[in-house]
């Protein structure tokens, strides 16, 4: 009697072996780095801490830093120190070079650098924007129209200046390189909910501009990011919660980062969808912690380094999305006990995939029955499958024990497939069943034991491995 077909695992072919390897690699990554990766190509995992940047703990050290900017050409870093009334400058190795501004600045807050290297600093006490050369030489105090209380500041690729005003009206003002007002938008409004009061701002503390001149504003006290087009028209709200302050865009990889001073974390969002991709850091004062992150900037060839102003710890924290040998070592250390597990699973699947299941055709069975010396070799083969028709025939002759099969058991196969190939290739019932068994997908490599030319030709058509009796018994000897 023909048994009903059943669902079985996929046969391990060369392609499926590659798939298994890929799955195991994914499992290994999940075990090592956690189940929630950042999800973009240049960031295989959430950014990892690289180092901290501090100064000597004296009267001239960083004290209450709030703003940060980079001169990408010189590879210099500018950090405002509010309580010291100056700006600190670090080289590409994060060593302090010099500081400036003690005679011109009172309470410096945010800082920006244009393509020419000009440094712009907002001063809360003076309610002004001051200009310095890249070497820290004071140039002048900008006379900006309609500004009351400048706070956040950034400069785009065309050297246009964007300043957030938190005076009577909380808004964004845009000036050209000469300081002429060319755009203003936004108004003071404490939103009842993050999605309401579009265009209303309440203490905007961060500004960034993307490749399309869209303007991203950290609407801090409304717990959201608002996006405006180049004309200042409202486009979109991204709800962040917390207290978003600094904001930086990675234009190369279509993500942006915000520093949340309330939750003491940095969040990464997709530039196109606005969905959160990852978050990192935590409140504290240890090596990788932050306390009230206030601003951030991206550096490196791929903008892979995220430099965060760690305000209350008076330092700059550097995170990176690029894996170094030391970073990999740190990540692997906690998971070393689990490391052998996926490797063992892979090894087990690999070994199983190398085992063969032999399907006995009627001509092969006839060859065995003719030569009693071959019976012992057949009995030593555990993975044998017999078609139902051949099973019944051998059972009637009470010789199933030769093939290590009890009369109550038979192999299963796809009955409809057997019927189809029987008609297409003009096979006997027993031959079509044997071929269907060999085509049946399972975890072992199926091998059809046959000697009839017709069934061998059909097997080749379906890319089924065939072994004649001579070759089979040569292997078994």
3-state secondary structure 402-440: HHCCCCCCCCCCCHHHHHHHHHHHCCCHHHHHHHHHHHC
Residue 14 has pLDDT above 70, yes or no: no
Confidence of residue 4 (pLDDT cuts 50, 70, 90): very low
Q: pLDDT tens, 198-218?
A: 999 999 999 999 999 999 999
CA–chain centroid gap for 230, Å, is 31
Give the separation between CA 80 and CA 104, rounded to whole angstroms: 13
Phi/psi zone of residue 372: left (φ > 0), alpha (ψ -120 to 50 degrees), beta?
Answer: alpha
Confidence of residue 325 (pLDDT cuts 50, 70, 90): low
What pLDDT, on the 0 to 100 scale, is given for residue 154? 97
Q: pLDDT tens, 251-290?
A: 888 899 999 999 999 999 999 899 998 899 999 999 999 9
Residue 171 has pLDDT above 90, yes or no: yes
Cβ atoms of 144 and 123 within 8 Å: the answer is: no
All structural domains of the chain: 48-322 (2.120.10.30), 355-473 (3.40.50.1010)
Confidence of residue 37 (pLDDT cuts 50, 70, 90): very low
| Better-predicted residue by pLDDT, 389 or 203 | 203
**How many CB atoms neighbour CB 63 within 10 A?**
16
Cβ atoms of 458 and 439 within 8 Å: the answer is: no
Which of helix, strand or coil describes residue 255?
Answer: strand
CA–chain centroid gap for 260, Å, is 21
Helix, strand, coil shares of the chain, percent, nearest 5, are 25, 35, 40
Give the separation between CA 207 and CA 227, rounded to whole angstroms: 10
pTM: 0.64
């Amino acid at each position: 009697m023909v048994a009903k077909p059943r669902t079985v695992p996929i046969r391990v072919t060369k392609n499926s072996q590659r798939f298994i390897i890929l799955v195991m690699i994914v499992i290994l990554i999940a075990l090592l780095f956690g189940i929630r990766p950042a999800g973009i190509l240049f960031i295989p995992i959430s950014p990892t801490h690289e180092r901290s940047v501090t100064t000597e703990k004296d009267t001239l050290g960083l004290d209450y830093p709030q703003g940060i900017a980079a001169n990408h050409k010189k590879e210099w870093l500018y950090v405002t120190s509010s309580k010291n009334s100056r700006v600190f400058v670090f080289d590409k190795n994060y060593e302090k070079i010099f500081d400036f501004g003690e005679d011109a600045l009172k309470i410096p807050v945010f800082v920006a650098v244009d393509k020419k290297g000009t440094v712009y600093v907002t001063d809360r006490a003076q309610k002004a924007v001051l200009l310095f050369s890249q070497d820290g030489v004071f140039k002048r105090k900008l006379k900006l129209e309609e500004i009351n209380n400048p706070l956040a500041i950034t400069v785009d690729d065309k050297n246009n200046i964007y300043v957030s005003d938190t005076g009577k009206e909380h808004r964004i003002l845009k000036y050209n390189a000469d300081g002429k007002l060319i755009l203003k938008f936004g108004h003071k409004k404490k939103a009842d909910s993050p999605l309401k009061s579009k265009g209303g701002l309440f203490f905007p503390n961060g500004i960034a501009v993307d490749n399309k001149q869209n303007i991203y504003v950290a609407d801090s006290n409304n717990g959201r990011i608002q996006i405006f087009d180049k004309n200042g028209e409202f486009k979109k709200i991204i709800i962040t919660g917390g207290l978003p302050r600094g904001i930086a865009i990675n234009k190369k990889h279509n993500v942006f980062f915000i520093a949340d001073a309330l939750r003491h974390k940095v969040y990464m969002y997709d530039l196109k969808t606005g969905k959160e991709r990852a978050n990192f850091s935590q409140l504290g004062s240890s090596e990788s912690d932050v306390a009230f992150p206030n601003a951030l900037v991206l550096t490196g060839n791929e903008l892979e380094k995220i430099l965060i102003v760690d305000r209350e710890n008076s330092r700059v924290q550097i995170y990176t999305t690029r894996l170094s040998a030391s970073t990999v070592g740190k990540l692997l250390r906690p998971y070393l006990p689990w490391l052998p597990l996926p490797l063992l699973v892979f090894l087990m699947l690999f070994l199983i995939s190398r085992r063969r299941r032999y399907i006995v055709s009627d001509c092969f069975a006839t060859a065995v029955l003719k030569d009693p010396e071959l019976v012992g070799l057949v009995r030593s083969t555990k993975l044998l499958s017999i078609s139902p028709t051949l099973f019944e025939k051998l059972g009637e002759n009470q010789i199933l024990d030769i093939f290590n099969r009890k009369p109550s058991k038979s192999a299963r196969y796809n009955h409809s497939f057997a019927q189809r190939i029987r008609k297409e290739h003009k096979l006997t019932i027993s031959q079509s069943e044997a071929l269907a068994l060999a085509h049946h997908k399972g975890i072992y490599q199926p091998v059809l034991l046959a000697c009839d030319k017709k069934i061998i030709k059909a097997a080749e058509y379906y890319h089924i491995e065939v072994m004649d009796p001579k070759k089979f018994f040569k292997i078994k000897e």
